Structure 1
Amino acid sequence: MELFTLPRQQALGKVWLVGAGPGDVELLTLKAYRILKKADVVLYDALVSDEIMALVPADAEKIAVGKRAGKHSAAQDEINQLLVTKAYTRQNVVRLKGGDPFIFGRGGEELETLVEAGVAFEVVPGITAASGTSAYAGIPLTHREHAQGVTFITGHCKLESRPTDWSSYANSQNTLVIYMGILNAGTIQQGLINAGRAASTPVAIVSKATTANQRSVIGTLGELEQLAASPELKMPALMIIGEVVGLATSLNWFNPDEANLSVEETLAVTNQV
């Protein structure tokens, strides 16, 4: 049975798949800012900051379709349906996602639906959470002396029912970045150690990265489950595992207490662009 019935007429509008970046409104790209300012409707995720949403025109329709672990959220099929429906009734439809829409953002799935429906679209990449988080935490993801590669994985799936080949991630010369892994920290810890990654491997968990609420906890892989339970951490949070985490103390430059412009300051600056 078809998920939706397509109207016979040509779609009126275009869908813009826009990455909102990791949180700091100043990390939004110029193109993303321009597209947001002319949006007629915005379907946005829970991870998009209030400062970025403040850039959306006041008369634009705003639809929250965020996905958060343990909380009710719109099903992906519903989001797909909304994108098609809005494209037939509005000129500029913006699908706004935290980070980058093509890195654990289901952007590809949504575009497949638009292709099937014959809806025009364009992708505006954003700074992904891994890049923004590591930069603001003082952790280079690669380093000639510590890490010759980096791997991004998601820890959000039901790892016990869908076994992960942890041996693929046990290389001590590779940095591992885990999205959405807090709830499965114990499984991740045990899987990596059993696969041969040293329990002494440095790890960092960074929450609310690039914002005034950024917090980091640093320890070892053998302490990962304990670190993930820290009351200082608020969602979203990202795990970084590897020797490069040892550089965080000396390379940390970001002071959350001095971070981020207010909404009014942001609007004043961006309106000059």
Structure 2
Amino acid sequence: MTIYFVGAGVGGVDYLTVKAHGLITRADVIIYDALADSQILDLAPAHCLKVDVGKRGGRVSTSQQKINQMLVDYGLQYSLVIRLKSGDPGIFGRLHPELEAIAPYNISYELIPGISSVLAAPLWAGMSLTEKHQGRHFAVVSGHDPDVLDWSILASIDTLVILMGARNLPLIIDYLLGCDRSSDSSIIIIKNAGRKDQQIWQGNLSNMMDQVQGISLSPCVIVISNIIS
């Protein structure tokens, strides 16, 4: 009996790793997050139990405690259980509490990486995260609670990738400008990265809010960069 913590990647079935694809086709249970493409679940065998525990900001969702208990219950009962997470399991995937939950029961597990929107979304928007002279480093942060971040440091990073930041976009921009980030810094917002309804907005810190005023941006990836495309 093994639980596989699998990264579903971004986009459709084509962006699954070969190992993830093979596991899904043999799964007894799949406990899955909100996925970029529901067709991934169609790969599962007919007998597979599929349990939706996806979280979306501002919506009613399954508690982490309940997800933890599901992993224990199904992990003790079935041979091949998949905890399917959007992107990569180790990037804002609440992996640690789930591993802690199954640890006392000696349930074996394996971690299967996936392509994260951190890497894929900027590329789909035509942006490199790094360049030899303009982008020597990049950082990835959650925009869920910007008040706890050190913006004096983040404002100096060549390329900044922000997940879960749609609701706090005005505050994030204010923090960056307040820490002397240039108002001409490029900002790209990629909504629904990898989906058929993907949308991209491109501008700078001084004009982006005018472009997206009144638009629901979640889920999105926000990229602020010094790189001139």
TM-score, reference length from structure 2: 0.94
Unmatched tracts of structure 1, length 5 or more: 1-12, 248-273
CA deviations over 1:119-160 (Å, ceiling 9, x no partner):
110000000111111121111100112110010000123x3x
Q: How far apart, in 2, do the equivalents of 1:198 and 1:189 lie?
A: 11
Query: What amino acid is aligned across from residue 154 of structure 2 in structure 1?
Result: Y
The residue number in structure 1 matching 2:108 is 120
Candidates 144, 147, 154, aligned match of 1:169: 154
Say whether 1:219 aligns with 2:203. Answer: yes
The residue number in structure 2 matching 1:98 is 86
Q: Which has the larger radius of gyration?
A: 1
Query: What amino acid is aligned across from residue 156 of structure 1 in structure 2?
Result: H
Q: Secondary structure at the match of 1:103?
A: coil
Q: How far apart, in 2, do the equivalents of 1:57 and 1:79 lie?
A: 22
Q: How does 1:1-273 map to 2 (within 5 A)?
A: 13-157=1-145, 159=146, 162-171=147-156, 174-229=158-213, 231=215, 235-244=218-227, 246-247=228-229
Q: How far apart, in 1, do the equivalents of 2:36 and 2:47 lie?
A: 19
Q: How far apart, in 2, do the equivalents of 1:95 and 1:194 lie?
A: 41
CA deviations over 1:192-233 (Å, ceiling 9, x no partner):
1111111111100001212322110011112343444464x6
Is this contact kept in 2: 1:38–1:92, CA < 8 A?
A: yes
Structure 1 position 113, deviation (Å): 1.7
Q: Secondary structure at the match of 2:168?
A: helix
Structure 1 position 243, deviation (Å): 2.0
Q: Secondary structure at the match of 1:54?
A: helix
Structure 1 position 47, deviation (Å): 2.7
Query: What amino acid is aligned across from residue 150 of structure 2 in structure 1?
Result: D
Q: How far apart, in 2, do the equivalents of 1:227 and 1:52 lie?
A: 33
Change (3 A) 1:189 1:33: same
Q: Secondary structure at the match of 1:222?
A: coil
Q: How far apart, in 1, do the equivalents of 2:209 and 2:13 lie?
A: 31
Is this contact kept in 2: 1:48–1:96, CA < 8 A?
A: no
Q: How far apart, in 2, do the equivalents of 1:203 and 1:24 lie?
A: 26
Q: How far apart, in 1, do the equivalents of 2:75 and 2:41 lie?
A: 20
The worse-fitting range, judged by mean Cα deviation, of 215-224 and 135-144 is: 215-224
Q: Percent identity?
A: 34
Change (3 A) 1:19 1:227: farther
CA deviations over 1:221-263 (Å, ceiling 9, x no partner):
12343444464x653211000123x42xxxxxxxxxxxxxxxx
Is this contact kept in 1: 2:36–2:195, CA < 8 A?
A: no
For the aligned residue pairs, the C-alpha RMSD in angstroms reads 1.6
Unmatched tracts of structure 2, length 5 or more: none
Task: Provide the aligned length of Structure 1 versus Structure 2.
Answer: 229
